[in-house]
Amino acid sequence: MRTKFDQQLDTLGQELIKMGSLCEEVISLAASALIRRDDALAAKIAPLAHEIDEKERQIEAMCLRLLLQQQPVAGDLRQISAALKMVTDMERIGDQAEDIAEILPLLNGRTLPEHIRIREMAKATIKMVTDSVDAYVRQDTAIAEAVISSDDIVDDYFKDIKSSLIFLIAQNPTEGEYALDLLMVAKYFERIGDHAANIAGWVLFSVTGEKDAQPPTG
């Protein structure tokens, strides 16, 4: 009986890794479409986001079956509980990548100003998502803690971008709509960073069992 349960837990882990890979792909596509102004790349985002939604439903059902059909011990229960929390954050990453894609046509093909540091912010956010998945795969608390620390870097990028856009509007009020669209893009990247930090926090919880390792769920 335990062997079958272990196999099911292993399958759960593999499905989480697949979902994490989809998240890495969708946020990378969003960043590339933004930087390169590539509508073909942007068009690939919505189908991937829908695939992430379906993967969330599959993993949630898998977790519930494990909880109802088996009697997981404390460590198993932490792993299943963490998986349920992680898929919620992963699904939201897909949603926010899709939100970025919806803003891109509003930019009217304009390239990003060099002094607006969205490129750097996107790169830092992608690394957080990639590393949060890697932390789960390796069950590595050091990587997870580094991801959580990196959230401050992404937050600082957002503050810098917001200040730059306020200055842009002050210098040229006609750029207000364009600046607001860029600010929304930056906000979505910032939220993706928050979700990556949440995922890393749930990795910490699943490994250590420490209650204060849980990230905020709001």
Q: What is the pLDDT of residues 67-76, one digit of tens each?
A: 887 777 778 8
Measure the CA–CA gap between 2 and 94, rounded to whole angstroms: 34
pLDDT, residue 84, reads: 93
pLDDT per residue over 104-160, tens digit each?
Answer: 999 888 878 878 899 999 999 999 999 999 998 888 999 999 999 999 999 999 999
CA dihedral for 200, 201, 202, 203, sign (positive or negative): positive
Confidence of residue 202 (pLDDT cuts 50, 70, 90): very high
pLDDT, residue 218, reads: 44
Q: Is 186 helix (H, G, I), strand (E, B) or coil?
A: helix
pLDDT per residue over 82-97, tens digit each?
Answer: 999 999 999 999 999 9
- Give this prediction's pTM: 0.90
Distance of CA 149 to the CA centre of its chain: 15
Average pLDDT of the chain? 90
Confidence of residue 1 (pLDDT cuts 50, 70, 90): low
Domain 2-213 grouped into CATH 1.20.58.220: yes
Of the two residues 187 and 6, the one the predictor is more confident about is 187
Give domain limits for the chain: 2-213
